[in-house]
Amino acid sequence: MSNISYQGKFIKKAEALILEHISNEQFGVSELADLMNMSRSNLLRKIKKQTQGSASQFIREVRLKKGMTLLEETELTVSEIAYQVGFSNNSYFIKCFRDYYGYSPGEARKKIDEQVEFEQVEHSNAEAIEVNEKGFLQQYRVQIILGIATFLVIAVFLLYPKETLKADKEAIYHKKSIAVLPFKNMSSDSNNLYFVNGLMESTLNNLQKIEDLRVISRTSVEKYRDTDKTISEIAEELDVNYVIEGSGQRIDNNILLNIQLIDVSSDTPIWAEQYNHKTEDIFSVQIKVAKKIAEAIEATVTPAELQQIDKKPTENVLAYDYYLKGLERIQEETIEGLETAIALFEKAIEQDTQFALAYSEIAISYYFLDLNQAEKRYTDIININADKALLYDSKSAKSLIAKALYYINVNEFRLAIPHLEKALEYNPNSSAVVQMLADLYSRAIPNTGKYLQYALRGLQLDIEANDSISKSFMYLALSNAFVQNGFTDEAQKYINLSLYNNPENYYAPFLNVFIQYAQHQNIEMATDALVREWKKDTTRLDLLQEVGKFYYFQEKYDSAFYYYDKFVKIKESNGLKMYQQENLKIGLVYDKMGLKEKAEDYYKAYVEYCKNDKSIYQSISLAMMYLHKGKPNLAMEQFQLFATKSNYQYWVLLFIEEDPLMNNLKNHAEYDEVIQKIKDKFWENHAQLEKSLKDKNLL
């Protein structure tokens, strides 16, 4: 949308309400609808009719116009203005401002200053010129105006290609985003719903194989199965430009499928077709539909992707029917549903012993039956079925996922990674794979850069969770990924969204304390905030050990002991072995309190932890162990080793010098140099990651 027309009382009132809440980042379409005493759908329709744009665009443009006014009338900095007009992310404000006005806020401020200076000079000259010199003055003004016009033409010529390419790149990216809505079952027999859902699933799966498309996940669209929302409303919530609607029915051995592709910008179908085929032709129909949609959107489809789309899952229609019934039962997410699904997949294999997808789903189902079980029962079954899936189709994303889940089940996380990354090559839009990779890089194989990359990709594919609680945890994970990489403003934005969607989120306030500490680095304030959170639930082990640690950092050992002792008693009474990396700190606190024997137990446990630690943090763990043993030179060797590592958490920078053990190293000749190396390495990685994410349209 280029410019909004503000004619009419409705638009004037809406604009006034937005301005009243201009600094509230959470003020959006729903809040405006409530204040206008309208339903959300009516507000969306009326704004679109009067402005030719969406409601969210309207709100954003009011914010940007207010931002321009503040640039013109105040001395506030760009970041202060961004905050005042409801942008917590300064970079996003600058991007939106540039997209709308064609130049950045900084450039706008410079133009404003130049204009003010020009007007001041002009005013002074005017006072000195007599009335009989008006002709010369007019000529002077014309020359000045022509000079400015020439400058602007040159500036536009120089800036246009770069900015236009960037804008075009973003436009193309959003242009090719698509959501496949749940298909409607037009059969009189409700038992045919599984078959219609299978048609929808196959359409989704085939489109997901095209890297040039951004295809929203099934979990994000499922909430719209029985919705009364308009296509425009759904598209705005999912941030897509195309929506696929479909309906189907099966009568005896015939399939009737109606499908249409809707361009959201015009709210009209740009492609629609009806298929009436025998059941045995279902695969050719699915392939045709995917190709027609890709062609209508003008998506680039590579030969390898075409090969994936053209691949039939099985030649046996009955086997496929059992397979679709099994998929439907998996969606129930219950033990009974999984067990029934396994039986149906096994029937599918009886019909086609080389049905790779059926073997994959059996392995995946058994993995979920084993999930969260202390003693794994189905490891061998998972592995056997995953291997058969790979045997019959090694280029299937599902086969690779099945094998990856086997490795995860046996805690061989590093072996799971290549299978998942290969699966993503065959299905670049697989939200399940993206989520697993984000999780593994977050906890099992720490790599902050990849964690953030996959968390952001996950948000693009699972953009609209089914409920506010799911949204809250999705934003929580993304906030955590941002802060681990030093993006504190972005982390604050997403933790605010997490709390907004679910104020009762158990973990969001905890993470918020750390984000606040990262921004202000006030350890006393952070400690007080952690204590307040702990008082809400005094059994929380995560909070107990963090409060104890913060008091330890401040060398307030009495207070540290109070929390660490509670932490240890709860942990021991429940037979838990967690937070092993904290054993040295706990031992030191017990030592300070005169509990030498207890301290010695924790020292020994920490040494054992260091031996078994295979993460990138092992060298830091060893360095602290050597400092405790009074061996600063060995500690320095480990710090020098760590300074060569990449993709470690921001907390290393924030807390490494807070540990009292570091007092034993600060007089070392190489101390300042090695600490600076660690910091420089982090920020170097940070800059590279930021550029990479922007290049991939993830930031």
Q: pLDDT, tens digit, for every residue of 248-277?
A: 887 777 778 888 999 888 888 888 888 887
d(CA 12, CA 317): 60
- Helix residue ranges, H only, 427-556: 431-439, 448-461, 468-484, 488-501, 508-520, 523-536, 541-553
- Are residues 98 and 187 both part of a single domain? no
**Together in a domain, 404 and 462:** no
User: What whole-number distance in Å separates Cα of residue 320 and Cα of residue 323?
Assistant: 5
* pLDDT for residue 84: 84
Q: Which residue has the higher pLDDT, 288 or 196?
A: 288
Q: Are residues 481 and 560 both part of a single domain? A: no
Model pLDDT, residue 126: 42
Biggest CA–CA distance in the chain, Å, is 104
Mean pLDDT value across residues 589-594: 95
Q: Does position 556 have pLDDT exceeding 80, yes or no?
A: yes
Q: What's the rounded mean pLDDT across residues 192-218?
A: 81
Predicted local confidence at residue 248, as pLDDT:
81
* 597 or 216: which leads in pLDDT: 597
Residue 635 contacts residue 624 (beta carbons within 8 Å): yes
pLDDT of 561 reads: 96
Query: Which of 495, 520, 545 marks a domain boundary?
Result: 520
pLDDT of residue 157: 30
Closest alpha carbon to 216 in 230, 236, 246? 236
Q: What is the pLDDT of residue 89?
A: 65
Instruction: Please tell me which residue, 549 or 125, carries the higher pLDDT value.
Output: 549
Q: Is the dihedral of CA 513, 515, 519, 521 positive or negative?
A: positive
Q: Do residues 511 and 545 both lie within one domain?
A: no
What mean pLDDT is reported for the chain? 83
pLDDT at 170 over 60: no
Give pLDDT, residue 8. 65
List % helix, strand, coil for the chain (3-state, nearest 5).
70, 5, 25
Domains in the chain, number:
6
With bands split at pLDDT 50, 70 and 90, how would you rate the model's confidence at 174? very low
Distance from chain centroid for Cα 236: 18
Q: With a cut of 50, say whether residue 162 has pLDDT above it.
A: no
Does one domain contain both 325 and 419? yes
Most confident of 151-160, 287-296, 331-340, 524-533: 524-533
Predicted pLDDT of residue 317: 87
- Cα–Cα dist 328/66, whole Å: 51
Does residue 595 share a domain with residue 510? no
Confidence at residue 463, expressed as pLDDT on a 0 to 100 scale = 62
Within-domain flag for 640: yes
308 occurs within a structural domain: no
Predicted confidence (pLDDT) at residue 172 exceeds the cutoff of 70? no
- Reported pTM: 0.62
Q: Is the pLDDT of residue 322 over 90?
A: yes
**Of 449, 504, 512, 518, the residue nearest 479 (C-alpha):** 512
Residue given tokens 């750390």 in the structure block: 514
Q: Are residues 504 and 579 in the same domain?
A: no
| Alpha helix ranges (H) inside 239-392 | 282-297, 303-310, 317-330, 335-351, 356-370, 379-392
Cα 210–Cα 213–Cα 218 angle in degrees, nearest 5: 90
Higher-pLDDT residue of 112 and 17 is 17
On whether both 623 and 598 belong to a single domain, the answer is no
- Evaluate whether residue 141 is within a structural domain: no
Q: Does 556 map to a domain?
A: yes
- Among 566, 560, 511, smallest CA distance to 538 is for 566
User: Rounded distance, CA 415 to CA 72, Å?
Assistant: 57
Question: Are 461 and 215 a contacting pair, CB within 8 Å?
Answer: yes
Shared domain check, 454 and 424: no
Q: What would the mean pLDDT of 461-475 be, rounded to a whole number?
A: 71
Asked if the structure places residue 138 within a domain, the reply is no
Please check whether residue 527 lies inside any domain of the structure. no
Structure tokens at 271: 């492609």
Contact at 8 Å (CB) between 656 and 615?
A: no
Q: In what helix (H) or strand (E) does residue 278 lie, and over which residues does it extend?
A: strand 268-278
Q: Which residue has the higher pLDDT, 171 or 378?
A: 378
Looking at the structure, do residues 690 and 670 belong to the same domain, yes or no?
Answer: yes
Q: Cα–chain-centroid distance for residue 421?
A: 18
- The residues pairing with 261 across neighbouring beta strands, listed in sequence order, are 244, 271
Residue owning tokens 């294999």:
349
Task: For residue 249, count other CB atoms closer than 10 A to its CB.
Answer: 18
Residue 557, domain member (yes or no): yes
Residues 329 and 286 in one domain: no
CB 250 within 8 A of CB 194: no
pLDDT digit string (tens) for 17-56? 999 888 887 788 888 888 888 887 778 878 877 777 778 8
Mean pLDDT comparison of 129-138, 264-273, 396-405, highest-scoring range: 396-405
H or E element at residue 262: strand 254-263
Show Cβ contacts of residue 224 under 8 Å, excluding neighbours closer than 6 positions: 181, 182, 234
Q: Which of 500, 398, 432 minimizes the C-alpha distance to 220?
A: 432
- Both 592 and 635 in a single domain? no
pLDDT value at 153 more than 70:
no
Assess if residue 406 is contained within a domain.
yes
> What value does the mean pLDDT take over residues 79-98?
76
Range of the domain at 245: 176-299
- Per cent of the chain over pLDDT 70 is 87
Q: Report whether pLDDT(635) > 90.
A: yes
Flag whether pLDDT at 158 surpasses 70: no
Q: Are 20 and 35 in contact (CB under 8 A)?
A: no
Domain end marker among 299, 329, 358: 299
Position 223, amino acid = K
Residue after which a domain boundary falls, among 248, 270, 299: 299
Q: Is the pLDDT of residue 624 over 90?
A: yes
CATH code where residue 496 lies: 1.25.40.10
Q: Which residue is associated with the tokens 């190396």?
A: 677
